């Protein structure tokens, strides 16, 4: 589909344990997504790490927005997460104690969840909550 974006995802610091122990994954995200972050309307294929999940169509009903990091978080929870979603998300965002980097920059400098995704972005999630 024209405009579909490939987003590289890295999980580390123990967070990969929630994602089938795969540190490096990738997902395909449409340019426009439901404003309510619902990720189920148009999912077509499974999300194995070698074959990124993909979409048939942009959602046809309801409000849409340009795909942002907030949507990506919901997408990862709904399609890549294997266990214990409460250790990844809390109150509609990433759980406190998980660091997020957008193309090697602290997401706090990039607008956090409101950051608009671009093709080939790399998003890194690092848990700080595991033993040191």
Partner 1 sequence: MAPTSCSLCRDAKAILKRPKTGQQICKNCFFFVFETEVHHTITESELFKPGDRVAIGASGGKDSTVLAYVMKTLNERYNYGLDLFLLSIDEGITGYRDDSLETVKRNQQQYDMPLKILSYDELYGWTMDAIVEQIGKKNNCTFCGVFRRQALDRGAASLKVDHIVTGHNADDIAETVLMNIMRGDIARLGRCTSICTQGEDTIKRSKPFKYAYEKEIVMYAYFKKLDYFSTECIYSPDAYRGHARTFLKDLEAARPSAIIDIIHSGEAFEVKEEIKAAQKAQQTCKRCGYMSSNDLCKACTLLEGLERGMASSVITDRARKNMDAMGPAPDNIRTIPLFRSTPTIAVELPSQS
Interface contacts to partner 1, rule CB under 8 A:
12-14, 17, 95-97, 99, 101, 104-106, 108-111, 115, 124, 126-132
5 or 99: CB nearest partner 1: 99
Q: Which long-range contacts (C-beta less than 8 Å, at least 24 apart) are formed by 41-50?
A: 43/79, 47/79, 47/80, 49/20, 49/22, 49/24, 49/25
48 or 90: CB nearest partner 1: 90
3 or 97: CB nearest partner 1: 97
**In the complex, what is the shortest distance from the CB of residue 90 to partner 1, in angstroms, rounded to a whole number?**
9
């Amino acid at each position: 589909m024209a405009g579909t974006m490939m987003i590289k995802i890295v999980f580390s610091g123990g967070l990969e344990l929630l994602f089938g122990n795969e540190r490096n994954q990738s997902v395909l995200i449409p340019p426009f997504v439901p404003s309510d972050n619902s990720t189920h309307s148009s999912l077509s294929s499974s999300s194995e790490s070698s074959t990124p999940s993909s979409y048939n169509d942009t959602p046809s009903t309801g409000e849409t927005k340009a795909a942002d990091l907030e949507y990506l978080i919901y997408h990862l929870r709904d399609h890549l997460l294997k266990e214990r979603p409460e250790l990844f998300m809390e109150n509609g965002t990433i759980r406190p104690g998980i660091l997020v980097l957008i193309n090697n920059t602290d997401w706090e400098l990039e607008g956090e969840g409101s950051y608009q995704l671009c093709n080939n972005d790399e998003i890194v999630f690092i848990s700080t909550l595991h033993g040191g």
